[in-house]
Amino acid sequence: MTMGASRFGLKGGNIRCWCRSSSSAGESADRASRENGEEMTRGLRSCVYCGVAFAGTGRALYCSQRCRNRVYVERHREERRAYLLQRRALHPRPPRLVLPPRACEQCGQPFTPFRADARYCSARCRYQAFLQRHHT
């Protein structure tokens, strides 16, 4: 049994509304709830993503299509990262082929081949070799 309730509740006249109670505690609670997004009751709500206040309709959570997209992208990025981590754990990548340097068949420069069947140091040398093959 609280003394406050019996004192305030039944006097009438003085206190018209519980939520507008003149006590300072009531005021600060009101302000806190407004900052927490209670604006929704007045048609204004804050964007879940960027926090901007906007007039939403229905169950809109975001101020704009852009914010909705950002949330979508971020959520899917998380999912994709988790998926990739899981996949990497299940199927570790084969170690990269390390090939000994060899001499370019076109210019003679030593180079480190990226593929086992690489014959030229660069696309240019490959092209030069191609030209020579077809012009002799």
**In the complex with Zn ion, which residue's Cβ is closer, 78 or 105?**
105
Tell me which DSSP letter residue 46 carries: E
CB of 78 to Zn ion, least distance (A): 19
Question: Which residues contribute to the site for Zn ion (CB under 5 A)?
Answer: 47, 49-50, 52, 63, 67, 104, 106-107, 121, 125
Strand 110-111 vs strand 102-103: parallel, antiparallel, or unpaired? antiparallel
**In the complex with Zn ion, which residue's Cβ is closer, 45 or 121?**
121
CB of 125 to Zn ion, least distance (A): 3
Sort 83 into a burial class: Cβ within 10 Å, 0-12 / 13-18 / 19+: exposed
**In the complex with Zn ion, which residue's Cβ is closer, 15 or 50?**
50
CA atoms within 13 A on the CB side of 69: 3
